Amino acid sequence: MWFGDGMKLLVSDYDGTIEIEELFKDSYIPKGTISNIQHFIDYGNKFMIATARPYDSIIDEVNKYGFPYDFISTLNGCIIHDNNGQVIYSKDMIELDIEEFCRLYSCINKIESIKDKDKVLYYIFRTKLFKSSRKLIKHLESSGFDIQCWFLNTYNIAHPISNKIDSVRFIQSLLGISDDSVITVGDAKDDLEMIKHYHSYGIVSYLPNFEVLRNCDVKVKSLNDAFKYINKNI
């Protein structure tokens, strides 16, 4: 048996893992995924979605499909919300001089800070169409920030040191469980550290990440596919 006794924590990426992407097909959630998650939780376990998306984006998906969950980790481990929508963990984001940024980079159309109470969680900035933002992106990345593009001209500026495994370790500590009680599922580079460190399932897709597949314990097609193995061990 792979897993330790007692409560388990299952941590899954979303895009390409819960919601599956196939060549020339619309993305979809395999039948049985939601009921399998609920079954896992009903057994006294905890489930966390760990995504690079910001909270507003992923919670729209969760509400749309009615996903049961205990925690949502966003922006590659920078922030964790509980299932009441409360921020229970966030990294100390470096505050940026917004006026100075706009003065230095003419490509910026708008920049705003996303806060929890008075604490800055991350920034969103939008660039003007037909204006190159490569210089700005290069500057931010060279300073260590995690830059994520969600739309044609909309970006997130996240904490300089972002990794999903940090949010996993926080919840693991909160629950008081060992490494043997943590299960991770993912498909991409930003999942790699949690894939390497815990019992893990790597996603075989039409564009697989071979480093994830080399380091996972079991190769599967989706989170739902992983439940065939998980359910035998809980």
pLDDT tens-digit profile of 159-187?
Answer: 888 899 999 999 999 999 999 999 999 99
- In angstroms, the CA 91 to CA 121 distance is 7
Q: Which of 59-68, 90-99, 181-190, 223-232 has the lowest mean pLDDT?
A: 90-99
* pLDDT given for residue 1 in this prediction: 43
Torsion, CA 185, CA 188, CA 189, CA 192, rounded to 10: 20
Residue 50 CB burial class (10 angstroms; 0-12, 13-18, ≥19): buried
In the predicted model, what is the mean pLDDT of the chain?
92
* pLDDT given for residue 132 in this prediction: 84
* pLDDT given for residue 97 in this prediction: 87
Mean pLDDT across 129-142: 84
- In angstroms, the CA 209 to CA 219 distance is 11
- In angstroms, the CA 155 to CA 111 distance is 9
What amino acid is encoded at 178 in this protein?
S
Band of the pLDDT at 3, cuts 50, 70, 90? low
Is residue 229 within 8 Å of 199, Cβ to Cβ?
Answer: no
* pLDDT given for residue 161 in this prediction: 85
Band of the pLDDT at 140, cuts 50, 70, 90? confident
pTM for the model: 0.90
* pLDDT given for residue 136 in this prediction: 86
Is residue 223 within 8 Å of 212, Cβ to Cβ?
Answer: no
- The domains located in the chain, with CATH, are 9-90+162-230 (3.40.50.1000), 98-158 (no CATH)
Band of the pLDDT at 152, cuts 50, 70, 90? confident
